[in-house]
Amino acid sequence: MAEGGIIQIAGVHDVEEARLLVDCGVDWIGLPFRLDHHREDLGEAEARVVVDSLPSTTLPVLITYLDDLEAILALGSYLGTHAVQLHGPAAPALGEGLKRRRPDWLLIRSLVIRGEDISGLEAEARAWAPFADYFLTDTFDPATGASGATGKTHDWELSRRLAEGVARPLILAGGLRPDNVGEAIRRVRPAGVDAHTGVENPRGRKDPELLRRFVREAREAFAESASW
């Protein structure tokens, strides 16, 4: 885990944007492919160039809704990512197969908060715990049906309860921005945070000032939480 907490930013368009994230102090860079409701930010060949450009201190993460083991292995191997964030209704057997075939890959399992009842997510986390290295809570948007990159927050108390109850470190996502990430960390006390649309300008590109503020606010909150 990154010292003081993980900061992941998802969605880059090119090497220049990835370099901006690195320069701002981002730990993990998420590369979304095979999505359910959103367009991909770049092509596979372009993403491979981005991954090759990253320093060893920055972890590229394949974010995907794929539920076919061979397809995930092929895409991750082509891109050169050694971490995968799984969304969608995948069964724990997928995690077991992934860890059996690629024990060196980091596995992050998404837990999508859809309402006040999280008993189903708690059961899902127990089933995935033998294979997942991290869990990530995200927000469901009933208006679009999307379960990630919605720009919407959820009840952080639910994520706090999951963070305390699940057997793996939890990363908080869902509508995080420079003006709320500090409060989110203080309330949930996650192992990391993830942002996508909350650090973008109206054209959908990462905004340097928003990124710097996001990283600064997150680092300060992680440091504060560590002292409690």
Name all domains of the chain by residue range, CATH numbers in brackets.
Answer: 19-226 (3.20.20.70)
CA distance 84 to 64: 7
pTM above threshold 0.95: no
* Phi, psi values for residue 78, rounded to 5°: -65, -45
**pLDDT at res. 155:** 87
Per-residue tokens: 101: 């075939």
Query: Does position 22 have pLDDT exceeding 60, yes or no?
Result: yes
Strands (E), 54-207: 59-64, 83-86, 106-113, 134-139, 170-172, 192-195
Could you tell me the pLDDT band of residue 1, with boundaries at 50, 70 and 90?
Answer: very low
**pLDDT at res. 139:** 74
Q: Taking residues 108-123, what's their average pLDDT? A: 90
C-alpha distances (whole Å) from 17 to each of 198, 208, 227 are 15, 9, 33
CA distance 73 to 91: 16
Closest CA to 115 of 163, 170, 154, 173: 154
CA distance 118 to 164: 13
Could you tell me the pLDDT band of residue 226, with boundaries at 50, 70 and 90?
Answer: confident
CA distance 153 to 91: 26
Q: Taking residues 5-17, what's their average pLDDT? A: 96
**pLDDT at res. 202:** 92
- Minimum mean pLDDT range among 35-49, 63-77, 127-141, 212-226: 35-49
Predicted confidence (pLDDT) per residue in 154-183, tens digit: 789 999 999 999 999 999 999 999 999 999
CA distance 100 to 30: 23
Specify the higher pLDDT residue, 149 or 193: 193
Specify the higher pLDDT residue, 44 or 149: 44
Mean pLDDT score across all residues of the chain: 91
* CA dihedral over 167, 22, 173, 84, signed as positive or negative: negative
CA distance 25 to 3: 12
Cβ 134 vs Cβ 162: under 8 Å: no
Specify the higher pLDDT residue, 92 or 88: 92
Q: Taking residues 3-13, what's their average pLDDT? A: 92
